[in-house]
Amino acid sequence: MTRPPAVAGVFYPQKAEELKQMIGSFLQQAEETKLKGKLKALIVPHAGYIYSGIVAAQGYKLLEKQKHSFKKVILLGPSHYVTFYGAAIADEDFLTPFGKVKCGDATKWIKEGLIEISPEAHSQEHSLEVQLPFLQETLKEFELYALVIGTVNEAKLAKFISEKLDDDTLVIVSSDLSHYLEYGKAVLKDNQTISNILKGDAADLDACGRTPIKVLMHLAELKGWKPQLIDYRNSGDTAGDKSRVVGYGCTAYVELNTS
């Protein structure tokens, strides 16, 4: 069984050739970023590619030179359509215009009261889907563990995920920032959210994926990872009106070099 694309032709091109050209253009435009340590996790946006694709590409460009470093991806995104407690892990492969993305064994992730299998939570969810073509173009081959996050104890979920990590696993959190503020107000609000993420302060995050971000912040604390801002823009900078914008940030988490 495979989960078919829900937003191909809406958030990103439906035709593989057009999609490849668009992602390739974004990656070519993205600037090279020097990380302060070994990449362990990314926060990337999940809007339509014309709005947020260039910001996402700033993060995914980091993978082009490290595609052999990661064999597994743990992908976390907020639930936009279904209300539930805990996290829902995908138990079927995903299909994109580029082909199939294989998921790992979801049954090993089930934990009562924390993680369940819920096709309903995944069927229309775009926050995870829009990351997959970028991953297919940069990592090429990888095993996916995709979780839609509802209302959850972030610390408990982070602890559980920490036990699933190894050296060849990358964690990706899918989240946009503030929504539909005037350009100047959005920049101020988003800068505050980004500052809080960089300080490790989860109290005030104006982001639709605030819960997955908090899970990552707990995970980073457990593992000693440090955040590094890669890029920030909003839809007023990319392809939208400046009277009502959506914010997009890209942050990497790294394991500092100790040698």
Write out the CATH class of domain 2-151: alpha beta
pLDDT of residue 90: 98
CA distance 143 to 202: 29
Q: What is the DSSP letter of 152?
A: -
3-state secondary structure of 44: strand
Token pair 């604390």 is at which residue?
221
pLDDT at res. 43: 98
The residues, any chain, with a CB within 8 Å of residue 253's CB and separated by 6 or more, are 39, 40, 41, 42, 171, 216, 220, 225, 226, 227, 228
For the chain, 259 residues long, give each residue's pLDDT as a single digit of tens: 899 999 999 999 999 999 999 999 999 999 999 999 999 999 999 999 999 999 999 999 999 888 789 999 999 999 999 999 999 999 999 999 999 999 999 999 999 999 999 999 999 999 999 999 999 999 999 999 999 999 999 999 999 999 999 999 999 999 999 999 999 999 999 999 999 999 999 988 999 999 999 999 999 999 999 999 999 999 999 998 999 999 999 999 999 975 5
Torsion angle defined by CA atoms of residues 169, 85, 48 and 101, in that order, rounded to the nearest 10 degrees? 40
Pick from 98, 252, 258, 111: which is nearest to 171 by CA?
A: 252
Q: Give the pLDDT confidence score for residue 68 in this predicted structure.
A: 80
Q: What is the pLDDT of residue 259?
A: 52
